[in-house]
Structure 1
Amino acid sequence: MDSIFVAAASLIAGILLRCFARLPENAERLLAAVVIRFCVPPVAFLAARSMPLTAEVFLPGSMAWIVFTGGLAFFGLAARLLGLSRQTFGCLLLAGGMSNVIFIGLPMIEAFYGPELAYVAFLCDNPGTTIVLAVPGVLLAAHLSGRGEGGLAALKSALKRMLLFPPFLALALGLLLRPAALPDWLLSGLARIGTTLVPLSLLTVGLGLSLRLPGPKARPLIVGLVYKLALAPALIWLVAAKGFGNTGLVAQVTVFEAAMPPMVLGAILATESGLDPELAALLVGIGTPLSFLTLPVWRWLLAGM
């Protein structure tokens, strides 16, 4: 309960600071860089040393690909039925077709399941969400925005960023040093640095939230949030239970990760590509606080399955 309190208090504090404090411009981006480069790598390193290297890890590793593919079918059908533009379709797929597995997912796993299962978030992110965003995400954005000429260059740049991404490097180093007996003071120190992840990441999310009324974007917004917060985790549960024959704790946490709100980086890519920037902001701005209501419901449902 104390972890959930810290998570909620940090998010609310970020929103209040955004509304009432005089902060430097783009303060949330600066804090996000601190989280990615300082808070997340120790957690990734320790997770790599403790995660079980079994066939069970294939489910979280494939989660992002399944959710993105399901979103391609669902949003494609919705676009035809509702007469949505290709820009709106692209925005829905880039933001609503991927989970916020680090800034929201990682602290939520720690809050609801404990730090010992934090490795599931990295399995969902590095072979999954990061590559989905870097490859089909970038190519889709380039195609739908009419900027196909820059698609290959953007793809190379995205893959380079992925390989140099500090959490990815920390995860790889942790796997490499698994057999090594490291001193207790080092492991304990890294764990203490990792405790800053939950408050700072959710403070960052709160600083970046911009709440607004949906107006004419209400229909595509509902479509995006229904898929991301309800249908996507249900799809992963179906795949886990029927495809992998696995309903254990790792499978439950993977479903929980699929229930995370729309991905911030996907929304940024949609915005930079001119794919319905207003809808992209709404999906993140409304989907993130709404997930604080839906995630406890999913935790309760998963506990009873």
Structure 2
Amino acid sequence: MLTKLVQIYMPLVMGVLIGWLASYWLPKQTPVYLGKGLFLFGVPISVFVFLRQTDRSDSIWLAGVAAWGAMLTGLGLMYWWLRWGKPKHNRLTAARSTQGTILLASMVGNTGYLGLPIALSLFGNTGFAWALFYDLLGTTLGAYGVGAMIASRYGPGKPGSSSTLPRIWQNPTLWTFMLALIYQDPLPEFVEQGLRSIAWGAISLALILIGMRLGQLTSLHQIRQTAIPLGLKMLLLPLLIWGITAPLPIPTIAKQVIVLQTAMPPAFATLVLAESYSLDPEFAVALIATGTGGLLFTLPLWLWLTGLLG
């Protein structure tokens, strides 16, 4: 068990640590440029490379259904707690802007830059495909679709800068996703090799980007108040999803990937939406940072529960 955890954690921790250290001496705009590069080139190429190498069954589309089920369940549970289960005089839930931020964090997980590398390291290309379908058909559409609607409802008015919100159809990953589904012919070997190198490099840079973003976060004084939202997002919700998917007639690897993707900490999209719609960016920062660190402790639980650790 210890050997497996070391194999999983080593590339994750090293990548994030390198990014965190680099954030102190690289220009502050570096994560912005790196993020744009990954968004436009790195992640789309990775999707194209790994998806073409995967045998896709008809059931893999259920990953998107599972993603929406998990997001809506998390949203419903957190809405119930905010409406009826919250303790009286709790400052955490006093402001509607903070409530909106909590709802977004309970719904949208970091299934892209964090969930995909974990799935690839644990399951190879087949698991990566399930995680990718979960992310693109669920998280991406949910974050900037339903998530934007929630942010607009709980914000004080129109978004301060709508240009910061990427339109779904402008996401190049979705286009390469569809291209990989359609185009299966082999490319020249030197092209395939070059694309594979870029794809693996993009996975490493995604982890470094997470470290850079975490290194720039400063508003962490609300960490104690993240316990309930993160407990629901990273503990209760994956447990419910595991109970629901366990008896279903789908591949075991699919159940494992779905649970792990559900257990991912809040995504950076939470902060993007919170800033754009004037919600509570400071609390979004606390949720992201605490959740990302907490994954080191919750991941072994889900690996054991899903049978990946004996």
What TM-score results when the alignment is normalised by the length of structure 2?
0.85
Which residue is equivalent to 1:201?
206
Structure 1 residue runs of 5 or longer lacking an equivalent are: none
Which residue is equivalent to 1:260?
264
286, 300, 303: which one aligns with 2:304: 300
8, 11, 14: which one aligns with 2:19: 14
The within-5 A match list for 1:73-112 is 73-80=76-83, 81-82=85-86, 84=93, 85-112=95-122
Secondary structure class of the residue paired with 1:113: helix
Does structure 1 conserve the Cα–Cα contact (< 8 Å) formed by 2:78 and 2:106? no
Work out the CA distance in 2 between the residues paired with 1:304 and 1:189: 32
Does structure 2 conserve the Cα–Cα contact (< 8 Å) formed by 1:51 and 1:119? yes
The amino acid of 2:41's aligned partner reads: F
Which residue is equivalent to 1:271?
275
Judged with a 3 Å threshold, the aligned counterparts in structure 2 of structure 1 residues 157 and 177 are, in CA distance, closer, same or farther, namely farther
Judged with a 3 Å threshold, the aligned counterparts in structure 2 of structure 1 residues 236 and 58 are, in CA distance, closer, same or farther, namely farther
Which residue is equivalent to 1:30?
33
Structure 2 residue runs of 5 or longer lacking an equivalent are: 1-5
Alpha-carbon distance, 1:116 to partner: 4.1
Judged with a 3 Å threshold, the aligned counterparts in structure 2 of structure 1 residues 33 and 70 are, in CA distance, closer, same or farther, namely same
Secondary structure class of the residue paired with 1:303: coil
Judged with a 3 Å threshold, the aligned counterparts in structure 2 of structure 1 residues 239 and 169 are, in CA distance, closer, same or farther, namely same
Alpha-carbon distance, 1:157 to partner: 9.4
The amino acid of 1:226's aligned partner reads: G
Work out the CA distance in 2 between the residues paired with 1:204 and 1:304: 27
The amino acid of 2:74's aligned partner reads: G
Which residue is equivalent to 1:284?
288
The within-5 A match list for 1:64-143 is 64-80=67-83, 81-82=85-86, 84=93, 85-143=95-153
Work out the CA distance in 1 between the residues paired with 2:175 and 2:219: 40
Work out the CA distance in 2 between the residues paired with 1:49 and 1:247: 20
Paired positions, count:
296
Work out the CA distance in 2 between the residues paired with 1:110 and 1:282: 27
147, 168, 171: which one aligns with 2:174: 168
Work out the CA distance in 2 between the residues paired with 1:234 and 1:3: 21
Which residue is equivalent to 1:48?
51
Alpha-carbon distance, 1:213 to partner: 7.7
Cα displacement string for residues 146-186 of structure 1 (whole angstroms, at most 9, x for unaligned residues): 426x79x96x996x7322212111111111102x2333332
The amino acid of 2:171's aligned partner reads: F
The amino acid of 2:75's aligned partner reads: L
Work out the CA distance in 2 between the residues paired with 1:292 and 1:115: 23
Judged with a 3 Å threshold, the aligned counterparts in structure 2 of structure 1 residues 213 and 134 are, in CA distance, closer, same or farther, namely closer
Identity %: 27
What TM-score results when the alignment is normalised by the length of structure 1?
0.87
Does structure 2 conserve the Cα–Cα contact (< 8 Å) formed by 1:107 and 1:198? yes
Judged with a 3 Å threshold, the aligned counterparts in structure 2 of structure 1 residues 73 and 208 are, in CA distance, closer, same or farther, namely same
Work out the CA distance in 2 between the residues paired with 1:118 and 1:245: 20
Work out the CA distance in 2 between the residues paired with 1:170 and 1:279: 34
Does structure 1 conserve the Cα–Cα contact (< 8 Å) formed by 2:75 and 2:103? yes
